[in-house]
């Protein structure tokens, strides 16, 4: 980073975050799969146990049946980490519906080489049903209906940082000085960022800090182009725009995570800790709409999973499965993960 700053000048925060998280040698996510779970830096719904994948599989199955049981369909997962969620989903589909399972191709989109090895190891028993691809362009010649989804991926996409000064926005950047990385504030020169910042409106106090992503469509486009139509499903923490950019949210949502402790200084130990910011779901919906996808209203994970789990809960009456019920409670209770995460479903008719 120091060398790059010396040759190119200060790094815009989004470039800093991309390097800190995804540099192929030293990036936080390029360092294997120790980040998620009790011994790592944070828990996710996947690390709670297999129930999350089992319930997602029911939603995917409902999609397949509703689409007229196409003879071939595809699920594309982003941010698949060590492949646990993929294995949970595939295992459940195999158990519930042999026809749907036989018709399925499960694709993991994984840019980081080090993770592809772990994922193929985890999915060895599903080798006939799954592929792990560094990028999705290879699917363009064989479009299928299906699903693109990810758990806690959008919050890990690099974001820009803004600060309000004298009634206008400046962009926060990272320079080098006094022997270390340091914060800088610069004029906004990127037209996309300038217009997105104007779109946030007025009424922000001096010193108000926030984050913004201007490139959700760059992330969604290859996924959209790899499907003939179907469902996109994003699970993450975040808000709709008016709530996100509320004048009272003066410090933004940027956080770091290390050993289950949240921090607020991403310049500390870059590559050694997670960096994340909430998702502006309105921006995701707008980006998806330009690609032909229509959004359903945002739902909390608790409500969404409880609806999906109805039949499973009824079938369990009289013969409870305590371990799965504990997972269900963690995933759905508002004081645990139920209100923390939102589900965005986007639909596109088959072309
Ligand atoms: C917070 S982790 C979530 C891991 C896993 N989905 C879970 O819920 O346990 C975020 C993951 O998103 C991945 N990621 C970020 N940008 C991505 C992209 N453009 N394509 C695919 N994966 C990406 C990161 O490498 C990381 O594995």
**Nearest-CA neighbor of 87 among 99, 69, 75, 98?**
75
Name the helix (H) or strand (E) containing 304.
helix 301-315
How high is the pLDDT of residue 79? 95
How high is the pLDDT of residue 320? 85
Could you tell me if 234 and 284 are in contact, meaning their C-beta atoms sit under 8 angstroms apart?
yes
Give the Å distance between the CA of 151 and the centre of ligand 1: 8
How high is the pLDDT of residue 86? 98
Kindly state if the Cβ of 220 falls inside 6 Å of ligand 1.
no
How high is the pLDDT of residue 164? 97
Q: What is the C-alpha to C-alpha distance for residues 337 and 342, in angstroms, rounded to an integer? A: 10
Tokens 């540099």 belong to: 23
How high is the pLDDT of residue 31? 84
Could you tell me if 133 and 108 are in contact, meaning their C-beta atoms sit under 8 angstroms apart?
yes
Tokens at 293, concatenated: 């996808």
Kindly state if the Cβ of 112 falls inside 6 Å of ligand 1.
yes
* Domain boundaries of the chain, sorted by first residue: 32-158+214-237+278-348
How high is the pLDDT of residue 32? 78
Ligand 1, residue 109: give the atom nearest the CA: 21
Residues of the chain whose pLDDT is less than 70? none
How high is the pLDDT of residue 285? 98
Ligand 1, residue 235: give the atom nearest the CA: 8
Give the Å distance between the CA of 123 and the centre of ligand 1: 17
How high is the pLDDT of residue 308? 96
Cβ neighbors of 214 (< 8 A, separation 6 or more) are: 160, 190, 192, 193, 196
Which is it for strands 227-236 and 144-151: parallel, antiparallel or unpaired?
parallel
Ligand 1, residue 153: give the atom nearest the CA: 12
Largest CA distance in the chain: 68
Options 3.40.140.10, 3.40.50.12710, 3.40.50.150, 3.30.450.20; which CATH number does 32-158+214-237+278-348 get?
Answer: 3.40.50.12710
pLDDT tens for 77-113 read 999 999 999 999 999 999 999 999 999 999 999 999 9
Q: What is the C-alpha to C-alpha distance for residues 272 and 270, in angstroms, rounded to an integer? A: 5
Which is it for strands 11-12 and 73-78: parallel, antiparallel or unpaired?
unpaired
How high is the pLDDT of residue 277? 98
How high is the pLDDT of residue 342? 98
Q: Which residue owns the Cα nearest ligand 1 atom 26?
A: 79
**Nearest-CA neighbor of 199 among 118, 134, 280?**
280
Kindly state if the Cβ of 277 falls inside 6 Å of ligand 1.
no
């Amino acid at each position: 980073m120091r060398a790059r700053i010396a040759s190119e000048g200060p790094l815009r925060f989004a470039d800093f975050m991309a390097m800190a998280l995804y540099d192929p040698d030293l990036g936080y996510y390029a360092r294997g799969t120790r980040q998620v779970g009790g011994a790592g830096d944070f828990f996710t719904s996947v690390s709670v146990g297999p129930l999350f994948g089992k319930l997602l599989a029911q939603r995917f199955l409902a999609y397949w049946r509703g689409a007229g049981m196409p003879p071939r369909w595809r699920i594309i997962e982003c941010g698949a980490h060590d492949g646990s969620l993929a294995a949970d989903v595939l295992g459940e589909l195999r158990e519930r519906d042999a026809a749907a399972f036989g018709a399925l191709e499960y694709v993991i989109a994984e840019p980081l080489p080090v993770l592809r090895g772990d994922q193929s190891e985890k999915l060895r028993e599903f080798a006939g049903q799954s592929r792990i691809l560094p990028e999705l362009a290879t699917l363009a010649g064989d479009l299928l209906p299906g699903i693109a989804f990810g758990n806690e991926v959008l919050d890990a996409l690099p974001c820009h940082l803004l600060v309000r000064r004298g009634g206008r926005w400046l962009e926060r950047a990272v320079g080098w000085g006094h022997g270390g990385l340091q914060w800088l504030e610069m004029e906004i020169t990127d037209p996309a960022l300038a217009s997105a910042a104007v779109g946030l409106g007025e009424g922000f106090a001096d010193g108000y800090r926030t984050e913004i992503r201007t490139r959700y469509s760059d992330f969604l486009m290859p996924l959209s182009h790899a499907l003939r139509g179907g469902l996109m499903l994003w699970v993450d923490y975040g808000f709709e725009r008016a709530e996100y950019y509320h004048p009272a949210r003066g410090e933004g949502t940027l956080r770091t995570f290390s050993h289950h402790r949240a921090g607020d200084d991403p310049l500390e130990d870059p590559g050694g800790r997670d960096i994340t910011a909430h998702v502006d779901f309105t921006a995701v919906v707008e980006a998806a709409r330009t690609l032909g996808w229509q959004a359903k209203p945002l739902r909390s994970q608790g409500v969404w999973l409880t609806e999906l789990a109805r039949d499973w809960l009824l079938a369990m009456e009289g013969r409870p499965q305590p371990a799965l019920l504990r997972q269900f409670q963690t995933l759905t209770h508002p004081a645990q993960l139920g209100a923390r995460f939102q589900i965005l479903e986007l639909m596109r008719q088959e072309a």
